[in-house]
Amino acid sequence: METIFVANVLNHKTEGIYKKICAEAAALGKAAGKCTLVTKSENGCVVTDTSDWTEQEYNEGVLKKVKALIAEKRFKIIYIRLMVPDFALISLMKEAHQNGIKVYYEIPTYPYYAEQFRTSRKKYRAVAKITMDFMFSPLIHKYADHIVTIKSNSRIKMHKKMVEITNGVKIDNIKAKSYANAWDGVFRMVAVGTLYPYHGYDRVLKGLKQCHEEADGVPVEFHIVGSSYTIDQLKKAASDYGLKRVVFHGIKTTDELNEMYEAFDVGLGCLALHRRNADIDTTLKIIEYYCRGIPAVTSGTGPYRDASMTITVPDNEEAVDIGEIYSAWKKIPRESLLQLSEKAKRQFDWNTIFNTLMQKTNTNQK
C-alpha cells in the first residue's frame, strides 16, 4: 500500500515541527505502507521518500504537486496535516475521496482557536485564519474519512469522524536518565522547548520568589532550555525578583540534552492551561519528559497512563507552590522512576500511535 503525507511546513531540517512531521510520516509508512512526504520549501515544495529519505525539490506549490502525484500513482491513503484551508485544499480532498483514497485530516490540537489567537503576535492574522477554518470546516468534514485529533479540552465533544491520538516522539535518539548517581541534594526543575505564555513559567518564578528558592530546606533550581519571544520577559522577572538559581541555557542539541537530563528531577509542562482554553496537557515537552525518565508537572491532565508520574498544580494565576512539587516528587518510588522511560517510550512511540490509528480506522496494513 502506498501513502502520502502532506504538510504545509517548511523543509527546515533543524526545526522541531519538521522533525515531528518526518517522524509521523515514517510511522505512517511503517504502519500502512510506503509513505511519500510532501512539505513546503522556500521556492516550492519538497517530495521525500521516507523509506530512504531521498528528496527532490519542485518549483510548484504543495497542493498542486500532491494533485499531480495522486494522478500518477495509486495511493491508498492521503494524510493531511492541518493547514489554512482554501478551495485548492477542498478540491484535493474531494478528488482523493472520489477516487477511493482514504483521506485523513490531522488537527494537532483540538480545539485550537483560543490557542491560535492568544499565542499569535499578529491578532488580525489569527482572526483571518480562524475565520477561514470556520468557513471551510463543513467541507473538510464532508471529504475527510477520518479527522485525527489530539484533544486538549475534556469538555469538548468529539464529532463522528474524529479519532483521538496523543502526541508522540521518535524514541531512537532519546536517552533515558540513568539514575546511576545518588541525588546531590539540589532539586532541579527544567522546562524545554519553545515557550509561550500558556506554559505559565511566570507562575514558577513567583513561586521561587515566595519560597526563597528552597523547598523544605533544599535548594531549588529552575533550568530553562529553548527560545521564544517570552524569554526576555522571564529573564526580566527573574532579575526583578532577585532569583539566583534560575538558569537560561538557550537552544541545545539532542546530544547536549541527553547529558543535561542526568541532573534534572522533574520537567515542567503547561502550568497555565486555562490561558489556552485547555485542561489536557498535549505538549510534546511533557511526553519527552516521561520518555527521558523524569516525572512531569502540569496544571491539567497528563497523557501518560500512570497518573502517579504526573504532578498536578492548580490551574490559576497564583504563584506555583514549589514545596508541593518537591513533596510530590519525593513520594515517587525509585523503582517507578527507573521503569518510567521504557514504559513511556512504548506508549508514545509514533510507530505505536500510527499502528493503533490504522487499527482503529480499519485500514488494512501494508
Q: What is the DSSP letter of 169?
A: B
**CATH T-level topology, domain 172-347:** Rossmann fold (3.40.50)
Q: 75: which residues sit within 8 A by CB, 6+ positions away? A: 2, 3, 4, 36, 69, 96, 101
Q: How far apart are CA 200 and CA 204, in angstroms?
A: 7
Which residue intervals of the chain bear CATH 3.40.50.2000?
2-168+349-360, 172-347
- For residue 72, count CB atoms less than 10 angstroms from its CB and return exposed for 0-12, middle for 13-18, buried for 19 or more: exposed
For residue 215, give Cα distances in angstroms to 13, 123, 207, 219, 295.
41, 40, 11, 7, 18
How much is the pLDDT for 124? 59
Please identify, in words, the CATH class of the domain defined by 2-168+349-360.
alpha beta
Q: What is the pTM of this model?
A: 0.89
The per-residue pLDDT for range 21-77, each reduced to its tens digit, is 999 999 999 999 899 999 999 999 999 999 999 999 999 999 999 999 999 888 999
Cα separation of the two ends of the chain? 5
Nearest to 189 by CA among 116, 265, 260, 122: 265
Per-residue model confidence as pLDDT tens digits over 298-350: 999 999 999 999 999 999 999 999 999 999 999 999 999 999 999 999 999 99
Count of CB atoms situated within 10 Å of the CB of 15: 12
Rounded CA gap, 347 and 243, in Å?
Answer: 37
User: CA angle, corner 12, sides to 77 and 117, nearest 5?
Assistant: 80
Flag whether pLDDT at 112 surpasses 90.
no
- Mean pLDDT across 159-165: 92
